[in-house]
Amino acid sequence: MDNPLQREEPVDRMKREAGCHAADIVEDGMVIGLGTGSTTLYAMEHLSVLIEENGLCIQAVPTSFQTEMRARQLQIPLTTLDAYPELDLAIDGADQVDPDLCLIKGRGAALTREKCVAAAAEELIIVVDASKCVRSLSGPVPLEVIPFALHPVILGVRAIGGVPELRNGIRKDGPVITDNGNFILDCLFGEITEPGRLEGILSLMPGVLSCGLFCGFVEKTRVVVGGEDGCRELKRQ
């Protein structure tokens, strides 16, 4: 009989391997954060198997409504940051990772809650396929912006050399609305030579709730990279 896993695209296989590797890091009794996105979903699916077949006992804080619904379907016990403001670890994905382990995140529009969970976690496990590892960050930087301040933030981004674009919905007219009721601006800056400095500037703009640059967690970040020959781990040197 044909094995569905053998029909997986190479990138999907890399994501699955990275997600399963991250799930295997989780220990019995841990309280963890769960990010949003396809690679994290692979980790969640493997955690579900470990819970059902191995009796793994954990609780998880989801970073989006989507992750919450998926976790319930997979019978992963859920909790909140109110109950557990300190987490053992968080598993999440990234859009780009540079050699210093600075990240661009937010393609799933959950960057604010992901940043809250990352800050609460003792260790941040980032799961990616090999294509997400880059020499320097250059992708669109998402900003979660309150609607009241949308146009002032657009002017502010332009003033520092960025090209902002309001993210529009798919199968929905108008802008993407985050789980917090806000808009997403995707901002291009070309090659980002000082991501930490740019994160600080963007985060201080009035009306910006959160910035998709994650540069403040590099000391506790472990990146699991799925590749053609299995997984490798990256840590800050």
Catalytic machinery residues: 114
What CA–CA distance (Å, rounded) separates 136 from 104? 11
Nearest one of 142, 161, 140, 147 to 207, comparing CA atoms: 147
Length of the chain: 237
SS3 content of the chain, % helix, strand, coil (to 5): 35, 25, 40
Token pair for 109 = 């529009």
Query: What phi and psi values does residue 197 have, to the nearest 5 degrees?
Result: -65, -45
CB atoms within 10 A of CB 163: 12
Calculate the CA 99 to chain-centre distance: 17
Nearest one of 227, 236, 231, 187 to 11, comparing CA atoms: 227
